Structure formats: structure tokens, C-alpha cells
Amino acid sequence: MAEVHVRNTEQFTEEVRRAEKHIARRDPLLRAIIKKTGPCSIRPHHRHFEILARSIISQQLSTRVADVIGDRLKALNTPARFPTALTITVTDSKLLRAAGLSNQKVSYIKDLAERTATGAIKLGTLKKLTDEQIIEQLVSIKGIGVWTAQMFLIFSLGRLDVLPHGDYGVRSAIQRLYKLAELPDRETCHRIAEPWRPYASIASWYCWRSLEL
């Protein structure tokens, strides 16, 4: 199926409601999760650089620690707000390390900032590309892999048909819901997700929520 792209918040919300109905019709197991959880709360936004930078910060850290580091980066600015790409490029690496970033993450964020500031990666125009093209561009940045790129597609660009088949939460949910003997591999995830298309992102969100029930 073709990718479903929406242009504004109202259209996006309407499409998500259609997605919920589609998934509920096609998958009885997720229908029960949708009924218990309620409407999907995914909403696209435009703070693309911040989202990617925070994804790098949060790698192998708890949410609380990652938030603390993010707040320290905000404190480097007046008024306090998350630094822009250009700000990061001219910020001394010592200050970034003092905020709690490792040497490796400093190099990753600097690489992201420089590519963004110079226009080598045009985050503002990524929405014009296909999912595959966006992933290809993002994984060329240090510290960003396929999973991070997929999360960006779902939670920043609001792409509706992304299946993060390598995500442990999605795999665990599929294993539990479909009573599999072991965690599903890529092929199994895509086979089970076929009825969800073209709304795999929304179904994945409900998979994550199912782990909380």
C-alpha cells in the first residue's frame, strides 16, 4: 500500500481515528487493546533537531537522567531553551561534557548539529521524502541508527505506516498478544503486521500500550 501522509493537525487526527477503526476491524487482539486504551495520542511536531539530539542523549540512559541532561543544555541559553543546531556547533565541547554528555555523545551531537547547520541534512524538508529515503539520510549521522530514524518518522513526522520491527517493546507485545514461543524476528513481525497496513505506526503504539495493561 502507498504511504499515508497528512498535512495538518486536523487531518492527522482524522486519519488516526480511521487507523484505529481499520486496525480494530482487521485484528481482534488489538481491537481489545484499543478498547481498553482509548484514542492514540501520537501527534507530529516540528522540533526535528531537538528530537534527534534528545534521542542521542537518551541512548543507554533512563528517561530521568536524559531529561536532566536536556535541562542542563537548555540552561546554556538565555532564555533557557533547547539549543539550536547552530548554537551546538559553536558551543565548547567542554560545556557539553559538563552537562553530562559522554565524549562519544558530544561527537554525535556535534555531527548532527554541523550537518543540520550547514544544510547537509535538511531536517525541514525531510517530510517531502519517502520513509526509506529519510532513514537512509538519518543513519548517515553518527549515533543515529534505524531504530532512532523509525522513532523520528513516527513521533516527529507523524508517518503512519512504520513498523519498528527491531524494537524490543513491539516484539515483546507481539509475542504476548499472539502467544508466540519466542520473540518474533523481522519476517514474523511483518507477517503479523500485514493486516495493520497502512497504519503500522498506530498499531505499534497500541502494542507499546498493551505492555502497560
Residue ranges and CATH numbers for the domains of the chain are 9-44+161-210 (1.10.1670.40), 48-155 (1.10.340.30)
Question: Where residue 7 falls among pLDDT bands split at 50, 70, 90?
Answer: low
Average pLDDT over every residue of 4-22: 86
Give the per-residue pLDDT at 80: 82
pLDDT, average across residues 18-47: 95
Using alpha carbons, select from 81, 76, 112 the residue that is nearest to residue 94: 76
Written as nine digits, the cell of 70 is 536536556
pLDDT of residue 1: 47
**pTM for the full model?**
0.84
Helices (H), the chain: 9-26, 28-37, 48-57, 63-75, 85-90, 93-98, 103-117, 131-138, 146-155, 168-177, 186-193, 200-210
Q: How confident is the prediction for the chain on average, in pLDDT?
A: 93
Per-residue pLDDT of 165-195, as tens digits, reads 999 999 999 999 999 999 999 999 999 999 9
Question: Which range among 76-80, 128-132, 202-206 shows the weakest confidence by mean pLDDT?
Answer: 76-80
pLDDT value, residue 9:
85
Residue whose C-alpha is closest to residue 157's, from 75, 45, 58: 45
For position 46, what pLDDT does the model report?
85
Longest dimension (CA), the chain: 54
